[in-house]
Structure 1
Amino acid sequence: MRHMYSGPVIDPHHHLWDLSMGKHPWLLPSDPTVQALPGLEQIAHDYLPADYSRDASKHNVVATVHIEALWAGDPVGETRWLETLDKSNGVAVRYVGGASLGQENALSVIAEQASFDRVTGIRGILSWHPDPKKCFVTDPELGRNAAWRRDVAALQSHGLNLELMMYPYQAEIVREIASDLPGLQIIINHCGSPIDRDAEGMQRWRDGLKLIATCPNIAIKISNPGAYDHDWTLESVRDVALHCIDCFGTERSMFGTDYPVSRIQMSYDQIYDTFKAIAASFDLEEQAALFHDNAKRFYRL
């Protein structure tokens, strides 16, 4: 018998912002034709805990994890701002902070971020693509840069996770990082970004996930499942989600929204309704792991 999950949910990936603060210029690009993420105009407005609670009202969300949102200037400023926000509904009770990994001041920023009890990790971005319009970084070898790797090693010494955005092109580099730092918990964002949706690109993505999943210190978030899949269907999302789970197992996979960025493709209800339909083929203990228990463990909730 198939059971649709109705238990508690922890959303391990979403963002908040107040545009009046002027800290998120990427949401208001001067040239919208040159950006790695099309459709930003749909989300270029304030998004605060009350907005998140409204969108999540049907899904028994008991806690959430805020992921750094490319805050301009001192990234610790974002953490300080998050500390001022209402926590009564469990929104943003843990943070993955920002730090300019590989830059001169990164070690001091990491140390300052680690001083906040709610900070459980720092996000790094390695997402380079042969098409410059799809790049988040300009250096395809950034993950092998000595200064970048020095700062990632510092995360391990502070007991912080490395939250990682990557494309399939970086799979071998990510495997190297995980192997070199076996005590570092790495959490891959957004299904490992199956960005190239043709047969060759999807095979590259499948092979990349299989490679990095061999490292026991890597986990994956099945988040923003409609990204790069503009004509998404339940079956196309199922295909991606089940490959993630096939690679990492139900003990190293988590469902997350990436709201409000993911609203460019899917509503909040569509995201979790789709996840629940996909997860119905798993037993109730596995469903609880995917929706709640793994996030509770990885983000120390």
Structure 2
Amino acid sequence: MTSTLSGPARATNSGPQPLFEGQAGTGRQILVYIFVLVPFAALIAAIPFAWGWGLTWTDVILGVAFFAFTGLGVTIGYHRHFTHGSFKAKPWLRVLLAVAGSMAVQGPPIIWVADHRRHHAFSDRDGDPHSPWLFGTGPAALAKGFWHAHMGWLFERDLTNKQRFAPDLLADRNVVAVNRLFPLLTAATLLLPALLGGLISWSLWGAVTAFFWAGLVRVAVLHHVTWSTNSICHMIGERPFKSRDKAANFWPLAILSFGEAWHNLHHADPTCARHGVKRGQIDISARVIWAFEKFGWAWNVRWPTPARLARIAAKAE
């Protein structure tokens, strides 16, 4: 059985258009280094920082709140809605999801979607932007592959062709507007926790600790949770469904990734709105989509009905 892309992801991968649209300039590469390495440095410094100056409940609550808002912006917005068309949404909800995803500091929505659609079009083959299997299967090759899949690919200069992989988003004025606001939203995701921390504690130090924990450290943790889906979930785990690649379920990441770590079903059926389809597989993103549907904010949700799962199982035989 081979996994098939449908909806927006399938429609954008046809035709003779080139895979890349050029190379990133030096300025963009410098920004990538800053937004990847600075939060990571904050994560490394987190323990001695906590020991030396303390961590407050305000920092924890703000960190969890911003982690959930921005993380769900990626999993529900960037991934399930914009990339795969797992459900349709009201215009205001589309904008909110694009804003929330942008505040995860993982790139503007159109670039993120183009990269991810390319990932599915060439999953674990040449052309996949972040497969861990591109260098071989020996220990050294897998170590290199893990680094590449986890974060090394971010530093490459080749730019995915947005016209080929995301023409629908390029034609959406609202998404294009949010895309242009990415620098401002990046600043907001770091400064808003500081502002709230300062106001709640009514102190400059409260603003500083909130900036560190709910800003930098929260961004770094979310980065590595998302990147682990690219690396770990294509290397180890269970594969109850057959797909054309090595996508696997890695249960320890299920909660932190809001259900994205149930990665095997996703690659077997990319447009499905729920990834954790078996009993006990908690999928927070799917539950939020369910709530959106109940409120009438989302519709045409592609749920994993028994008939849909039976078709996937039949293809795997």
Q: Which has the higher contact order (CA 8 A, sep 6+)?
A: 2
1 or 2, which has the higher helix percentage?
A: 2
Greater share of residues in strand = 1
- TM-score normalised according to structure 1 size: 0.29
Give me the TM-score of the superposition, normalised by structure 2: 0.28
